[in-house]
Amino acid sequence: MQTPYIFNIQKFSTHDGPGIRTTFFFKGCPLQCMWCHNPESQKYEPEYMVAKDGKNELVGKQYSIKELVKKAQSDQIFFDRSGGGVTFSGGEVMTQEISYVEELAKQLKKIGISVLIDTCGIAPESNFKKLLPYVDGFLYDLKFLDSQQHCKFTGAQNQLALKNLQLISDSGGAIYLRLLLLKRINDDVPAMTNIISWLKDNHIKIKRVDLLPYHNFGRDKYTKLGRICTQNFEAPEKECLEDLKKLLEGAGYFVKIGG
């Protein structure tokens, strides 16, 4: 079994699903989204990044399943009180050694810790089938409904992401649909109307929609990794976010602005 690399463990997170959560960020992603604010998550192998003290720090560490379970268990009291748990994020956790991810989820479930998976959906269907019995839901980052746009901004077509979203819904898995919004690119009413129509036409059941306005907090990380940041996106206007929220609510969805 290939032990995946983890680039961050975030405790007391309130942005990665309901309640207080511990988030394990797995290193490695099949996409290269132009707006990515965690560029250190993209490569599957460890790499150096300049730390706060100006020294080079190796990003990416391997943990045994036992170590991660122990880390999660230390905050179980907060999970229980807040309705939280553990979130596997990335990078793209569903493209990691799946027997490792499956065993980790299985062991957490066994001791009563809820697991959510944050995914872009670009991963083998068989991996989703393996994880479905052990997780309480998916934070599903649908980048674009239009495959050409998906490819232009992330480097991959989106058919697999749509297929896996359908699979989770048909299997009864809870879906928190996360939509990143970029000003003048996908923050318009027709684009959101298309998403709503597609969800309705395909009977996709959504627990909540999270509207995520673009932010540029990760820009300096590119320099720290010795890469060039080419991002020049802007966040949608507040009124625009409210309009899209109303549109989704009118279609029967529970909507939150922010993660």
- CA 34 – CA 149 distance, rounded (Å): 12
Q: How far is the CB of 204 from ligand SF4 (least distance, A)?
A: 20
Token pair 């934070």 is found at 139
Q: How far is the CB of 157 from ligand SF4 (least distance, A)?
A: 14
Q: How far is the CB of 26 from ligand SF4 (least distance, A)?
A: 10
- Residue whose C-alpha is closest to residue 4's, from 96, 131, 115: 96
- Residue whose C-alpha is closest to residue 131's, from 151, 111, 101: 101
DSSP tally for the chain: helices H, then strands E: 9, 11
| Closer residue to ligand SF4 in complex, CB, 29/113 | 29
Q: How far is the CB of 201 from ligand SF4 (least distance, A)?
A: 25
| Closer residue to ligand SF4 in complex, CB, 69/185 | 185
22 with 9: CB under 8 angstroms? Answer: yes
Which residues contact ligand SF4 by CB under 6 A?
A: 29, 31-33, 36, 38, 41-42, 90-92, 120
Q: How far is the CB of 41 from ligand SF4 (least distance, A)?
A: 5
Q: Cβ contacts of residue 123 below 8 Å, gap of 6+?
A: 30, 92, 94, 95, 160, 164
| Closer residue to ligand SF4 in complex, CB, 3/32 | 32
| Closer residue to ligand SF4 in complex, CB, 8/114 | 8
| Closer residue to ligand SF4 in complex, CB, 113/131 | 131
- Residue whose C-alpha is closest to residue 68's, from 116, 107, 112: 107
